[in-house]
A and B are shown apart, each in its own frame.
Chain A
Amino acid sequence: MDNDSDEKLVEYFLEGEKRALEVLVFRYYKVIYNFCYRYVGDINVAEDITQESFVKAWKNLNKFDRSKKFKTWMFQIAKNTCIDYLRKRKSIPFSRFENEDGDNNFVDNFEDILPLPDEIFKKKDLAEFLEKAISKLPDANKMVVLLYYKNDFNFREIAEILNEPIDTIKSRYRRGLVSLRKLIGDYEY
């Protein structure tokens, strides 16, 4: 069962195989936790939201459209749970660089995304540096970049998860990378 596809596991679970759910949860709880943590920025809240997301997924597994990817669906639930939490806390973070339409004039003035300098990979504390650089990105762009590179989603899937048009996602991705490249470029090696 451990090697079965997510969709097959959902099928097994709906047929009454409880272990299938355990396998699914085990497969995704760490990535979902990391996603929630990046969204809300608090490890304890991220744990609670992760739990809540899996409970919601369990409750709605019978409504899951098996022609779609379970991973995308799971991230969608986690994103909605994060938003629910932030709404209740009345603290949905809006990037100070972005206007209501999601336009980012600051970044739009930049040229195309530049290649990364070779020195960056020689950096000793690269993980820490990268973490800091990522945290400085506007939230909307940060999530797209992370979903793309950390969670291996394509633009269509990210659009589905974040419930945004694909063009918005592409533009956020580009802006995210431009901002990140600038932060990396500003660093003195």
Chain B
Amino acid sequence: MEKEYKKLFTNMEDVEPSNKLFEKIMLRISREERMIVTKKRIAVFSVFLVISSGGFVYSFIATQNAFVSSGFVQFFSLIFSDFNIVVAYWQNFLFTLLESLPVFAVIISLVMFSIALGFLTFLIRDVKFINSNNIIRKKYGF
């Protein structure tokens, strides 16, 4: 009896999936693989973003202080108080301004800002990727 039924079921045709199903599965798996890596990267980037933001705030305050202590602010304020003298001696004035500019502090601040901005960009890109993947998953409620 069982053989008869077995024979009967050999007549039942399989439903053919779309010819790209295999590729779709492999693509989903590699996407999931990327998701896992991305999630780990988000965690690392978040930590670095906090550190670099803190570093930027600290270097910004230090740069502000450096501007005051180097006399740059005072020299610069001459533009508003004694504009005619500044124009008359503009070469000396420019040289003095450059000399009093806290270059190192400014560079450090800019570097910290660039680093924080870089991490923020990476973080946004990764979060976008995770969100787009979640939308696909939610489509069928998985």
Contact = CB atoms under 8 A, between A and B. Distances in A.
B26 A22 contact: yes
Contacts of A52: 28, 140, 142
Contacts of B140: 45, 48-49, 52, 85, 88
Contact of B12 (A49, A113, A116, A127): A127
Contact of B21 (A45, A50, A85, A113): A50
Indicate the size class of the contact surface on chain B: 20 to 34
Interface in B3-62: 4-9, 11-18, 21-22, 24-26, 28-29, 32
A16 interface: no
B32 A126 contact: no
Contacts of B1: 113, 115
Contact of B9 (A49, A54, A58, A150): A150
A142 to B, nearest CB: 12
Given A29-B17, A34-B15, A49-B140, A116 B25 contact: no
Given A22-B26, A130-B11, A116 B4 contact: yes
Contacts of A21: 29
A30 B1 CA distance: 28
B34 to A, nearest CB: 12
Contacts of A30: 14, 16-17
A121 B6 CA distance: 12
Given A84-B142, A131-B13, 14 more contacts: A22-B26, A25-B26, A30-B16, A31-B14, A50-B17, A50-B21, A50-B25, A51-B28, A55-B29, A55-B32, A58-B32, A88-B141, A130-B9, A177-B5
A-B pairs, 3 with minimum CB distance = A88-B141, A149-B9, A33-B17
21 contacts: A25-B26, A29-B17, A29-B25, A30-B14, A30-B16, A33-B17, A46-B15, A46-B17, A47-B18, A47-B21, A48-B142, A59-B32, A85-B141, A88-B140, A88-B141, A88-B142, A115-B4, A116-B4, A121-B7, A149-B9, A150-B12
